[in-house]
Structure 1
Amino acid sequence: MRTVNPDQHEKKRRELLRAALRRFAAEGVQASIASICAEAGVSPGHLYHYFPSKEAILEGLFQLVLDEAAAHLSGDVQDARDLPALVADLYSGKGPSLLFDLLAESQRNAAIADRLRRHSAEMKQLLASAIVRGQAAGLVDDTLPAETLATMLLAVLDGSKAIRLRDPAVDRGHAREMLLALVSRVLKRRSADEMTGEMRRPR
């Protein structure tokens, strides 16, 4: 009986997921199993050994994104620059059309709509936890509710993925710098003088 090496199995599984991600980014969620197999250089039988269906591949991709975000956001926030940089680094200018294709497909496919909602809730909790750690360290504005702030930051990140669709000439590195500046200002812990001035400002 063949013994499966768990590490090699997981490595190959992730390779197949990244191949699928490239095809979904290029063709949308309608990308065929044949197209994914061609991208990965494997037979359908080999692919089905790891993923019994295209739905299972999509589920694997959602989990891969969550796992990578969790690893990315799990560190201690020790510097006022740490959290904004971590948030900005969740931005990716590659394959943004996949997000919008999934959003469009969710209007027709209840299963995808449900998975997107669960994915968003899980991402929000990851980001909210990082914000709470930053607030506990005295580096992030603790007057802001962490979960609501996480929701708004995720909306900004999702919206930022449309920048190059709207204007292909935008430099991705410059866009990230602007996103970092925006997030830094939102998260910045305000001084007592700033808060006093805000309270005195006429409404």
Structure 2
Amino acid sequence: MEMSGLRKVDPVKHEQKRSEILGAAIRCFIWDGFRGASTTDICTEAGISPGHLYHYFPSKMAIIEAMIDLGLARTAERFEKILAAPDVIEALLTDIEETSLRFRPAQILNLDGLAEAARNPEFAKIIERHTKAVRRMWADFLRQAQSKGRVDPGLDPDATADILIAIIDGSRAMPIRNPKLDVKQSTAHLKTMLVRFLSPHEAQSTAGKPRPQSTSRPLKLVRKR
């Protein structure tokens, strides 16, 4: 017997609205930081009321958790593409350049997230969970690349994963430390470092050759008022 008065939720529309709210939240976090952006700001950017927001996310932390999960899913997809590339290290370098050296939103969110984790224990737990998941992805990626003969088999995957995560964090800080950074030159040096670090010994004779500069452009965000 169907009960009257109960509203049926369309799962497709529900997920679409969640995605829209997440997009609005990400923009707010980029503009005002994880601490500064409020749920009111997010509702205004998403064009919904606070009461409507809670049909999708019970709190700001729940939004951040969902944002982290979305990022992890996209990271997993990128690892699959990198592993399928003819040259794993070259594909990895391209990914770092496009998602770190040239992608301002990632730079802002990464650094602000680490800063917030240093002062907010609840946020620190979210960052710890995210880091564990990313480290696991890196280690799995490295093991698969080693099994295919594309990465030095003498490297410990877990220890190497920690080093690569630090390199990613550092590459995202570089354009903020130096707004006039020569990305092309930095990418060439990064390639030399990654080839020497990751390549099987017999493949390191070709290390350090620069490649053409990416034509990708940084994302520009225009805040709606």
Q: Deviations over 1:75-100 (max 9, x none)?
A: 58355523542465253322222222
Change in 2 beyond 3 A, CA 1:129/1:32: same
Change in 2 beyond 3 A, CA 1:83/1:58: same
Between Structure 1 and Structure 2, how many residues are aligned? 194
1:81 aligns with 2:87: yes
Once the two structures are TM-superposed, the CA of residue 108 in structure 1 deviates from its matched residue by 2.2
Q: Does structure 2 conserve the Cα–Cα contact (< 8 Å) formed by 1:83 and 1:131?
A: no
Share of identical aligned residues, percent? 38
SS at the partner of 1:50?
coil
Structure 1 segment 115-134 matched on structure 2, within 5 A:
115-134=126-145
Q: Does structure 2 conserve the Cα–Cα contact (< 8 Å) formed by 1:37 and 1:47?
A: yes
Q: Which residue of 2 aligns with 1:23?
A: 28
Q: Which residue of 1 aligns with 2:104?
A: 94
Q: Does structure 1 conserve the Cα–Cα contact (< 8 Å) formed by 2:82 and 2:91?
A: no
TM-score, normalisation: structure 1? 0.83
**C-alpha separation between the residues in 2 aligned to 1:87 and 1:2?**
49
The two structures, once aligned, show a CA RMSD in angstroms of: 2.5
SS at the partner of 1:25?
helix
**C-alpha separation between the residues in 1 aligned to 2:204 and 2:49?**
65
Q: Which residue of 1 aligns with 2:123?
A: 112
Change in 2 beyond 3 A, CA 1:179/1:34: farther
Change in 2 beyond 3 A, CA 1:84/1:186: farther
Stretches of structure 2 that go unaligned for 5 or more consecutive residues are 1-5, 206-225
Q: 45, 52, 55: which one pairs with 2:61?
A: 55
**C-alpha separation between the residues in 2 aligned to 1:68 and 1:115?**
17
**C-alpha separation between the residues in 2 aligned to 1:67 and 1:155?**
20
Q: Does structure 2 conserve the Cα–Cα contact (< 8 Å) formed by 1:132 and 1:146?
A: yes
Structure 1 segment 1-203 matched on structure 2, within 5 A:
1-30=6-35, 31-75=37-81, 77-79=83-85, 81-86=87-92, 88-90=94-96, 91-92=99-100, 93-95=103-105, 96-170=107-181, 175-176=186-187, 178-191=189-202
- What is the one-letter code of the residue matched to 2:53? L
Once the two structures are TM-superposed, the CA of residue 61 in structure 1 deviates from its matched residue by 1.1
Once the two structures are TM-superposed, the CA of residue 174 in structure 1 deviates from its matched residue by 6.0
TM-score, normalisation: structure 2? 0.76
Once the two structures are TM-superposed, the CA of residue 2 in structure 1 deviates from its matched residue by 3.3
- What is the one-letter code of the residue matched to 1:65? G
